[in-house]
Structure 1
Amino acid sequence: MFSDFLPVAAFFAGVVSVLSPCILPVIPAVFAYSTEKGKFRPLAIVSGLSLSFTSMGIVTSLFGATLTAYLGYLNIFAEALLITMGVSLLFDLNIFNVFGNFSSLANSKKEGLFGGLLLGLSLGIVWLPCVGSVLGSILTMVAVSGKITYGALMLFIYSIGFSIPMLLVAYSASFSSKKLQKVSKYGFPLKKVAGLIVLGVGFYMVYQNHFGSF
């Protein structure tokens, strides 16, 4: 139903996620040590992040595939979840902050490329409270599709949108923490736009699944 739209939405969601005020300002600290240890280490970190997010897409698709017999109930759950997440983004409710602050897990001094990969994997979990509403919206649509390849692809596209701003910061000396704090302010209007889009998708699903035949 949203197969043509979702890849673009997934990329946009990744960009919006990294502009979160609890992610963007700390990126210089994450990469400060990394770039000193080798020019390819930031790539290892974002590769770990991509692997983490793509794995979430695969697991979510498997979950959806096992529930295809209950697709009607899954659609209702997805509709409710998307509308909830849309409202959360629109009014900046941060409902996923109940997971707490796991920033202490992100040890930016793990050595080597493999250490960077492990750091990226851990950051995919550490930053869940910051990206929960946006990422959850993509995962919800993936679960409804129930297609593993499609789910992996959508989350990989999401991770590309997430990774590009991070690499720009990592390889550009002009991005200071103070400048990034200014840039992060644009995350708020973008989150509201994302909230409206997610709400629209949720209400469209309600119409399509329950009133489209009338």
Structure 2
Amino acid sequence: MFETETFLAASLLPALLIAFSAGILSFLSPCVLPIVPPYLAYMGGVSVTQMEDDQIARRRAVVASLFFILGLSTVFLILGAGASALGRTLLGYQSYLQMGAGTVVIIFGLHFLGVFRLKFLDQEMRVDAGDQGGSAFGAYFLGLAFAFGWTPCLGPILSAILSLATGTGDVGKGAVMLGVYAIGLGVPFLLVAAFFPQMKRPMAWMKRNLGIIEKISGVLLVIVGLAMATGFLTVFAYWMLEAFPALAIFG
């Protein structure tokens, strides 16, 4: 039991790094990045032009973004806790779960690389947030709607993080992992809102290179999937524990 708990402690830090990176990659996905400016403007109750020229308008967008991130986090925390609870229930089948989850993540990575296309991953279900723009409640509700409505589009990356959360078998750690994923996805919204004039050029460059970003995401997913399916993630976690014994305090 102690060995298992120690392993989970060692594996938590790299898993959190993967979760945060996955959140950023989700932000850079083709179905999220292009809609960032109009979403920020809608949530703040301002126009895109006002966000460029008016500092007060940007502040309103920043406040709205904070509540938007809170809405995202609410959904993903629940998903993380649920996945971890499932992992605890199926603890005796962890090796099979890791192999199966790794295989699924590899398939999603190959989808991003264009080896084949899974049509249901090219679709998105946008949930109408109603006439709630310009209010904290509206931004929070939009965060909830975003987390649910964009799940098909975020599916490949999100599934990898959910698989890692399932592998922990710990509800608290699984929730933390998905919370970190939500932060990785949500904080870029906050940065764009706060520094919109300065971020216009980098965002334009990213939009022009969405294909390259998608390929990079695919490569990373294949690597993570292989690590999960072959058990290398477990080996790496034990190596982390031996190299950095202080990681045991996270348990």
The answer to whether the superposition gives a TM-score over 0.5 is yes
- Residue aligning to 1:10: 19
Residues 84-103 of structure 1 correspond to what in structure 2 (within 5 A)? 84-91=107-114, 95=118, 97-98=120-121, 100-103=123-126
Moved more, 136-145 or 198-207: 198-207
Q: How many angstroms does 1:183 deviate by?
A: 1.2
Q: How many angstroms does 1:158 deviate by?
A: 0.9
Which of structures 1 and 2 has the bigger CA Rg?
Answer: 2
Q: What one-letter code is carried by the residue in structure 2 that aligns with 1:160?
A: I
* 2:216 aligned residue (190, 198, 210): 190
Q: What one-letter code is carried by the residue in structure 1 that aligns with 2:226?
A: G
Residues 1:196 and 1:71: Cα distance change in structure 2 (over 3 Å): closer
Contact (CA 8 Å) 2:124, 2:153: kept in 1 or not? no
Residues 43-192 of structure 1 correspond to what in structure 2 (within 5 A)? 43-91=66-114, 95=118, 97-98=120-121, 100-107=123-130, 109-110=132-133, 112-174=135-197, 175-176=199-200, 180-184=203-207, 185=209, 187-192=213-218
Q: Where do 5+ consecutive residues of structure 2 fail to align?
A: 1-6, 47-59, 236-251
**Number of equivalenced pairs:** 208
Residues 1:173 and 1:98: Cα distance change in structure 2 (over 3 Å): closer
Q: How many angstroms does 1:181 deviate by?
A: 4.4
Instruction: Provide the rounded CA distance (Å) in 2 between the counterparts of 1:95 and 1:142.
Output: 24
Residues 1:64 and 1:203: Cα distance change in structure 2 (over 3 Å): closer
Output the aligned Cα RMSD.
Answer: 2.8
Q: How many angstroms does 1:129 deviate by?
A: 1.9
Instruction: Provide the rounded CA distance (Å) in 2 between the counterparts of 1:19 and 1:76.
Output: 28
What SS does structure 2 have at the residue aligned with 1:121?
helix
After TM superposition, the score normalised by the length of structure 1 is 0.83
Residues 1:106 and 1:201: Cα distance change in structure 2 (over 3 Å): farther
- Residue aligning to 2:226: 200
Residues 1:25 and 1:113: Cα distance change in structure 2 (over 3 Å): same
Q: Tell me which protein shows more helix as a share of its residues.
A: 2
Instruction: Provide the rounded CA distance (Å) in 2 between the counterparts of 1:142 and 1:16.
Output: 18
Moved more, 97-106 or 123-132: 97-106
Contact (CA 8 Å) 2:98, 2:228: kept in 1 or not? no
Instruction: Provide the rounded CA distance (Å) in 2 between the counterparts of 1:105 and 1:207.
Output: 39
Percent identical pairs in the alignment equals 29
Q: Where do 5+ consecutive residues of structure 1 fail to align?
A: 210-214
Instruction: Provide the rounded CA distance (Å) in 2 between the counterparts of 1:20 and 1:58.
Output: 25
Contact (CA 8 Å) 2:42, 2:133: kept in 1 or not? no
Instruction: Provide the rounded CA distance (Å) in 1 between the counterparts of 2:126 and 2:21.
Output: 25
Residues 1:106 and 1:40: Cα distance change in structure 2 (over 3 Å): same
After TM superposition, the score normalised by the length of structure 2 is 0.72
Q: How many angstroms does 1:104 deviate by?
A: 4.6
